[in-house]
Amino acid sequence: MANRTVKPCFPLAQVGGYIRPLAFLTPYPQQLRVSKAAVDLSSRRVAVRASGAMQNIADILTADLREICGVSVVNAQADFVIKLDVADQHLKREGYTLTIAESWAKITGQDADGLFYGVQTFLQLAAFGKCVIPALKISDWPSYNIRAVMLDMGRANYSMPLIRRSIRIMSRLKLNTLHLHLYDDHLMGLRFRHLPLGSENPGAITINDLAEIIRYARQYHISVCPELESWGHAGSLIYHYPECYGDTGMYNEGASLGIGAATFDLLEKIYDEVIPVLETKSMVHLGLDEARWKVLPGVKNPESMNPTWLVGKLYDLLMKVGRRHGKELTMRIWADHGGRALPPRLEKKVIVEPWQYFENPADIKKKIRRFSGADKGPFIMGGGAGSMHFNGTFDATRLWCDAGRKSTNCLGINICLWESNRFDNCLISLFGGSSCAWSPRRVEKPMAFDLVHDYHNGVLFTRMISWQSLFKDADPDALLSDRGPAIFKGYYISGPEIGRPVAPTVLRLHNPVITDGEK
């Protein structure tokens, strides 16, 4: 056996009302049976066996066993074999079973995604057990099909290394959709090829970068949904196209696009650059929240237009561009504060996304009731960390996922990280939220005495710290290095440029149509 390197693990105490088998597993499995027997992989010759189609997942397991646990996999005779397979087990999509016995382990996925997630569970067992894994049987599957994370690139720049690291962290936690909020009033986070958009932002990613992110994410069983704001939060568009300005945003800052041909022509050009790099089947988010309605000068028959009409207009435009590039697209929009009415023809086609980022059970349950029903269209719940959650949060995510379990038309949860690139500070939103998204019935809830959740939060943070000590993807120093200077609402809040705006678009928040020549 190769030299074994066992990484130290921050101690995990099982205390209070949270005692349960293998409590460190994140997300926690739906069904788990553990025996008293155990296997020490450090004393075994370990082999990994998989069919040709699943060899890439076998390669991931082999590399991670070596990196995380110090276990070198052999190709010759072995006395412990890990078998990987895909077979119909009558589980939900992305489900898997994991069985560990004296001389073998078998991970069977309902599909390739399920097999990948089963491997992640096995790696957690080996890492936390320091190569000693218990004999057990797990049957596991996700409660929600969409388990998304949103990065706000319209208020803060995300480097390519940090985005890649975020993808790897998501995959460890069985999160499967990366929502990129590409631009907003403050910043244009994407530099276009044929439009001036993003040229003013030194930290914007390119279209080629976006294509690379999509390819990279697919390796980790994650799909990418770009958000292309198409009405409000459009200040970074107006900076280059003042003729498309309609009005301010809902809160009297930023900009809403005016309704008319100039705006629709611009949006078609934006869609035409982004959509070609997407996967054949992709979701595209168009925003459409917190905007003010105003028709551009010279538009004929403005009385026939309204926000519901706009949804249909943009849907048709998006589908037209999708067909042009051979893409099968699904449109997502925010529900806005009062909901967003859809044209009758689109009620079952457009995904609507209500949100609540604070721990407000009454509001969350009210929205679940409003959007649920056999006669309603699909919706995704918006949780995660709001603008004022500077250290992240998972409380709203927990409430959404618990309340939405019985909703047959709820597709999943979006763990949002708004207004900053402080991914390291908000990591608890992903770590704590991943179990809520995967198995909400198995999530531990705050106990009666824990009025402000100090104890509950402490347990989760302790587990996360331990997990970070074992999985280098989440290493705190690496996260800081990949992030670079911290940014909040378009301003540097650390580094040599602290206090300065990232790009000139930030300075246009209250005067979005002023150009450089007029200033």
Q: What is the pLDDT of residue 399?
A: 98
Using an 8 Å Cβ cutoff, are 20 and 433 in contact?
Answer: no
Whether residue 4 is predicted with pLDDT greater than 50 in this model: the reply is no
Per-residue 3-state assignment (H helix, E strand, C coil) for 489-501: CCEECCCCCCCCE
Please state the rounded mean pLDDT for residues 26-33.
Answer: 97
Whether residue 149 is predicted with pLDDT greater than 80 in this model: the reply is yes
Out of 9-13, 314-318, 376-380, 446-450, least confident range: 9-13
Whether residue 518 is predicted with pLDDT greater than 60 in this model: the reply is no
Q: What is the pLDDT of residue 338?
A: 87
Q: What is the pLDDT of residue 17?
A: 55
Residue 341's nearest CA partner among 368, 313, 306 is 306
Type of residue numbered 268: E
Query: Mind listing the pLDDT tens digit for each residue in 405-442?
Result: 999 999 999 999 999 999 999 999 999 999 999 999 99
Query: Mind listing the pLDDT tens digit for each residue in 212-226?
Result: 999 999 999 999 999
- What is the share, in percent, of the chain residues with pLDDT greater than 90? 92
Please state the rounded mean pLDDT for residues 77-81.
Answer: 93
Ordered DSSP codes for 173-234: TT--EEEEE-B-SS-B-EE-SSSSTTTT-TTPEEHHHHHHHHHHHHHTT-EEEEE---SSS-
Query: Mind listing the pLDDT tens digit for each residue in 251-273?
Result: 999 999 999 999 999 999 999 99
Tell me how crowded residue 313 is: count the other CB atoms within 10 A of its CB.
Answer: 16
Residue 513's nearest CA partner among 262, 270, 254 is 254
Type of residue numbered 78: A
CA distances from 215 to 89, 93, 182, 323, 435 (A): 29, 22, 17, 21, 26
What is the 8-class DSSP label of residue 258?
P
Average pLDDT, the chain: 94
Q: What is the pLDDT of residue 119?
A: 98
What is the 8-class DSSP label of residue 26?
S
Residue 112's nearest CA partner among 90, 98, 95 is 95
Angstrom distance (rounded) from CA 153 to CA 513: 22
Whether residue 13 is predicted with pLDDT greater than 50 in this model: the reply is no
Domains (range + CATH), the chain: 16-140 (3.30.379.10), 146-508 (3.20.20.80)
pLDDT band at 514 (very low <50, low <70, confident <90, very high): low
Please state the rounded mean pLDDT for residues 44-67.
Answer: 94
Residue 41's nearest CA partner among 142, 134, 115, 160 is 134
Q: Which residues are bridge partners to 82 per DSSP? A: 48, 105
CA distances from 440 to 251, 402, 435 (A): 35, 6, 6
Instruction: Show the tokens assigned to 349.
Output: 């086609």
Q: Which residues contact 172 (CB under 8 A, 6 or more apart)?
A: 120, 471, 473, 474
Q: What is the pLDDT of residue 154?
A: 98
pLDDT band at 513 (very low <50, low <70, confident <90, very high): confident
